[in-house]
């Protein structure tokens, strides 16, 4: 990992390369940018710099970046770039002629549909639902100059042949003959997310089943990225170290583990929409207080209805108690065809360009930089 000082700052001013600044808030942020970064690295005309809201060195070390230009947030604000790419809203500095918002997910919580997004020069929209939500919420036109119909580049791996389920399970030391279930809940709140309400019971119930079980918690479930987190999940999950069928996933990128899974257990996380692209069964743990909270937020924005409440849970089998999980999972694994049309509709609604999003994003980035695409 390369931290940059005074020499690099001077060099930044005289180098003819096109310089891009990427701004992360957690390791998940880099997962959204990784496929784009790989393409940009192949071109000697571009140079990518990395910053973060807090602890840039630790964050990018977590995602395995080596030999890259890592710089603290405040030092980055003293520099000039040709393009700034953000998957969140913390980076306020306008130190590039074009700032691009790529978002960190697309869920029915609609955190992405934030007024702060309107300050960006380009919005790399994930799908039709996000686009229409921006239009309805902020009274924008269909052809707003900021809109770019891109998709979600990180999900291209579902379609490009780079992932192999048996290989993933093999690396995890799991029985390839067993079905694989993944629990990937939304970021925790003090009282109303599935992890906060019943996380220990949910995990314990699924761990008892004759399935491979992957536990993939949100970055902000851990004190490393959310110091005030009440439950120490790292410590609690240590009981499953060495378990025959349970694996706790600390990888920042959930995509390979979604691909390896036959069924998803979640709540209102954006991974529900992502998993719909695979058209496999989904079980949702009901979180009524959290849904009510987001409904209030929608009303404050002037919207009369809550999609999360009205149809957001149609994509999966809904359970209210941990005791219902085992039976529901068993049934859903045995009847994967149920709700397949609903899942397909979710995928169409939430994502532009499945399998081609990276290509679309890179093409637009080169256009914004005034460069021809590499041959």
174-190: pLDDT as tens digits: 999 999 999 999 877 76
Name which of 62, 95, 90, 60 is nearest 76 in CA terms: 95
Global pTM value: 0.92
Instruction: Give the pLDDT of residue 13.
Output: 47
Which parts of 168-310 are beta strand (E)?
180-183, 212-215, 246-248, 263-266, 282-285
Please give the DSSP secondary-structure letter assigned to residue 346: H
Name which of 266, 296, 284, 275 is nearest 110 in CA terms: 296
Instruction: Give the pLDDT of residue 221.
Output: 65
Going by pLDDT thresholds of 50, 70 and 90, the confidence category of residue 223 is low
CATH code given to domain 2-152+354-369:
3.40.50.2000
Instruction: Give the pLDDT of residue 222.
Output: 59
Name which of 257, 275, 255 is nearest 266 in CA terms: 275
Instruction: Give the pLDDT of residue 306.
Output: 86
CA distance 360 to 353: 8
85 SS3 class: strand
Contact 248, 316 (CB under 8 A): no
The tokens for 219 are 């970055």
Q: What are phi and psi of 99, to 5 degrees?
A: -110, 130
- Answer with the residue of higher pLDDT: 303 or 48: 48
The CA-based angle 187-33-343, given to 5 degrees, is 60
* C-alpha dihedral, 201 to 203 to 208 to 209, nearest 10°: 120
Instruction: Give the pLDDT of residue 276.
Output: 98
Q: Burial, 135: exposed, middle or buried (Cβ in 10 Å; 0-12, 13-18, 19+)?
A: middle
Going by pLDDT thresholds of 50, 70 and 90, the confidence category of residue 236 is confident
CA distance 220 to 272: 18
Which helix (H) or strand (E) segment holds residue 23: the answer is: strand 18-24
In this prediction, residues 153-160 reach a mean pLDDT of 98
Indicate the domain borders of the chain.
2-152+354-369, 157-350
Going by pLDDT thresholds of 50, 70 and 90, the confidence category of residue 3 is low
* Range of lowest pLDDT (53-57, 130-134, 160-164): 53-57
CA distance 226 to 327: 34
In this prediction, residues 27-51 reach a mean pLDDT of 95
**pLDDT exceeds 90 at position 46:** yes
Place of tokens 């690396």: 171
**pLDDT exceeds 60 at position 12:** no
Name which of 107, 103, 251 is nearest 182 in CA terms: 251
Average pLDDT score over the chain: 91
Instruction: Give the pLDDT of residue 321.
Output: 95
CA distance 177 to 210: 11
**pLDDT exceeds 50 at position 6:** no
Under CATH, which architecture does the 157-350 domain have?
3-Layer(aba) Sandwich (3.40)
Contact 53, 71 (CB under 8 A): no
In this prediction, residues 68-91 reach a mean pLDDT of 95
């Amino acid at each position: 990992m390369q931290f940059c000082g005074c020499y690099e700052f001077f060099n930044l001013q005289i180098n003819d390369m096109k310089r891009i600044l990427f701004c992360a808030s957690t390791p998940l942020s880099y997962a959204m940018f990784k496929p784009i970064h790989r393409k940009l690295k192949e071109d000697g005309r571009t140079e990518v710099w990395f910053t973060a809201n807090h602890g840039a060195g630790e964050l990018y070390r977590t995602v395995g970046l080596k030999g890259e230009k890592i710089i603290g947030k405040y030092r980055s604000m003293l520099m000039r770039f040709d393009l700034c790419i953000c998957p969140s809203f913390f980076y306020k500095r306008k130190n590039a002629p074009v700032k691009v918002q790529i978002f960190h997910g697309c869920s029915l919580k609609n955190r992405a549909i934030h007024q702060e997004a309107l300050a960006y020069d380009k919005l790399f929209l994930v799908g039709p639902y996000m686009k229409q939500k921006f239009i309805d919420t902020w009274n924008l036109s269909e052809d707003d100059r900021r809109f770019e119909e891109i998709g979600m580049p990180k999900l291209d791996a579902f379609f490009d042949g780079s992932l192999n389920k048996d290989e993933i399970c093999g690396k995890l030391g799991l029985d390839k003959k067993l079905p694989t279930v993944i629990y990937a809940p939304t970021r925790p709140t003090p009282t109303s997310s599935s992890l906060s309400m019943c996380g220990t019971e949910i995990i314990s119930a699924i761990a008892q089943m004759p399935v491979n079980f992957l536990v993939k918690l949100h970055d902000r479930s851990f004190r490393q990225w959310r110091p005030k987190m009440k439950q120490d999940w790292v410590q609690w999950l240590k009981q499953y170290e060495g378990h025959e069928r349970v694996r706790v996933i600390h990888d920042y990128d959930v995509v390979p583990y979604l691909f390896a899974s036959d069924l998803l257990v979640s709540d209102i996380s954006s991974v529900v929409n992502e998993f719909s692209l695979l058209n496999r069964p989904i079980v949702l743990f009901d979180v009524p207080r959290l849904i009510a909270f987001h409904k209030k937020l929608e009303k404050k924005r002037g919207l009369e209805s809550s999609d999360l409440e009205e149809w957001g849970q149609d994509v999966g089998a809904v359970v209210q108690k941990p005791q219902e999980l085992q039976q529901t999972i068993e049934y859903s694994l045995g009847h994967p065809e149920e709700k397949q049309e609903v899942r397909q509709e979710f995928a169409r609604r939430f994502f532009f360009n499945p399998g081609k999003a990276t290509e679309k994003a890179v093409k637009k980035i080169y256009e914004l930089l005034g460069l021809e695409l590499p041959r």
